[in-house]
Amino acid sequence: MDAKTKLCCLIGNPVEHSLSPMIHNMLSERMNINMIYTAFRVESGMLEDAVKGAWALGINGLNVTVPHKCAVIPYLADIDPLAAKIGAVNTLVRSESGFKGYNTDITGLGRQLDEENVTINDNSVIILGAGGASRAITFLCAQKGARKIWLLNRSLSKAETLAREVNGYFGEVVTALPIENFSDLPKGKYPVIQTTSVGLFPDTGCAPIENDDFYEYVSDGVDIIFNPSETKFMKKCRKHGARAHNGLKMLLYQGIAAYELWNNVHVPQETAREILDMMEREIGI
């Protein structure tokens, strides 16, 4: 590290559990790029100050995590068209006039679903949650050609708002439903993507839906949480015969996409695989 070292960082609340510093600092080591990465806890009331401060300090790029993925948009100088449609960003790239926002969550999950052979095209899908991560994932599933998307959330109005926005681009593909009314779903097996923070460390004893009857609907359960490596949601999926996947690959691939934007490079697959192995060891897989 020297006076020419570029700095990138994560902002959110909480951030103490994050593996992003491991990902990006290892990428810089393997790619021989003079960049370091750290994480800053930012309270909601301080978000504008944090973005302005990062710009003033010459920070090269930021990742944005909960609860700021939507709230950060008014403080950007520019936004990628896809991120604008989604209404959530997780990556900020320095430009001449300020930060430009991108959404690499959609890239990260798309790559994970392809690797795990989770079929979205011409399939019906259930998404749990309607927050910032859910926005990207709902758009992704519609973009991938889902026949039907059931959006289940505790706040029906929030899910209905997201459904209307996605349907405005893709037609009537998304239907909102109160999460407790899951039994209204047509009988069948569905890929289920869990986008809420329920089950995130340290509240590992919780699942977004506790009722075991729900898990009879699951063919593949994808939880975007990676800590713990096996959430209660995943355990329930497996108990009912479904495959289950955590969010580690999504985290890795969205991070790689951000790193490539910041540094104008391509990360080889063998490097991605090496870093994934390190991440798995770190969380005890």
Q: What CATH number does residue 153 fall under? A: 3.40.50.720
Those residues with Cβ within 8 angstroms of residue 86's Cβ, 6 or more apart along the chain or in another chain: 103, 106, 135, 136, 139
**Same domain assignment for residues 117 and 32:** no
**Pair 135, 221 in one domain:** yes
* DSSP single-letter state for residue 34: -
Q: Looking at the structure, tell me whether residues 211 and 134 fall in a common domain.
A: yes
CA-CA distance, 238 to 143, in Å (whole number)?
28
Q: Do residue 139 and residue 226 come from a single domain?
A: yes
Same domain, yes or no: 253 and 242: no
> Which of 69, 100, 232, 249 is flagged as catalytic?
69
Tell whether 185 and 235 lie within a shared domain. yes
Query: Does residue 18 lie in a domain region?
Result: yes
Q: Are residues 123 and 50 in the same domain?
A: no
**How far apart are alpha carbons 38 and 24 in whole angstroms?**
9
Distance, in Å, from the CA atom of 66 to the CA atom of 211, rounded to the nearest integer, reads 26
Q: Are residues 111 and 242 in the same domain?
A: yes
Positive or negative torsion for Cα 240, 243, 247, 248: positive
Map residue 210 onto helix, strand or coil.
coil
> Does 52 qualify as catalytic in the annotation?
no
Q: Which residue range(s) make up the domain with 81?
A: 6-103+249-282
Q: Is the pTM of this model over 0.85?
A: yes
Residue 1 lies inside a defined structural domain of this protein:
no
Amino acid type, 231: T
User: Does one domain contain both 241 and 111?
Assistant: yes
Could you tell me if 132 and 215 lie in one domain?
Answer: yes
Same domain, 122 and 230: yes
What does the alpha-carbon distance between residue 191 and residue 244 come to, in Å, rounded to a whole number?
A: 10
Q: What is the layout of strands, in order, in the sheet containing 61-64?
A: 35-41, 6-12, 61-64, 91-94, 99-102, 78-79
Residue 186 per-residue DSSP state = P
Nearest to 191 by CA among 124, 266, 254, 259: 124
CA diameter of the chain? 61
Q: What is the pLDDT along the chain (285 residues), one digit of tens a residue?
A: 899 999 999 999 989 888 999 999 999 999 999 999 999 999 999 999 999 999 999 999 999 998 999 999 999 999 999 999 999 999 999 999 999 999 999 999 999 999 999 999 999 999 999 987 898 999 999 999 999 999 999 999 999 999 999 999 999 999 999 999 999 999 999 999 999 989 987 889 999 999 999 999 999 999 999 989 999 999 999 999 999 999 999 999 999 999 999 999 999 999 999 999 999 998 877
Tell me: do 242 and 111 sit in the same domain: yes
Residue 188 CB neighbour total at 10 angstroms: 9
Please report the sign of the dihedral spanned by the C-alpha atoms of residue 275, residue 231, residue 89, residue 106.
positive
Q: Total structural domains in the chain?
A: 2
In sequence order, which residues have a C-beta less than 8 Å from that of residue 49 and are 6 or more positions away? Answer: none
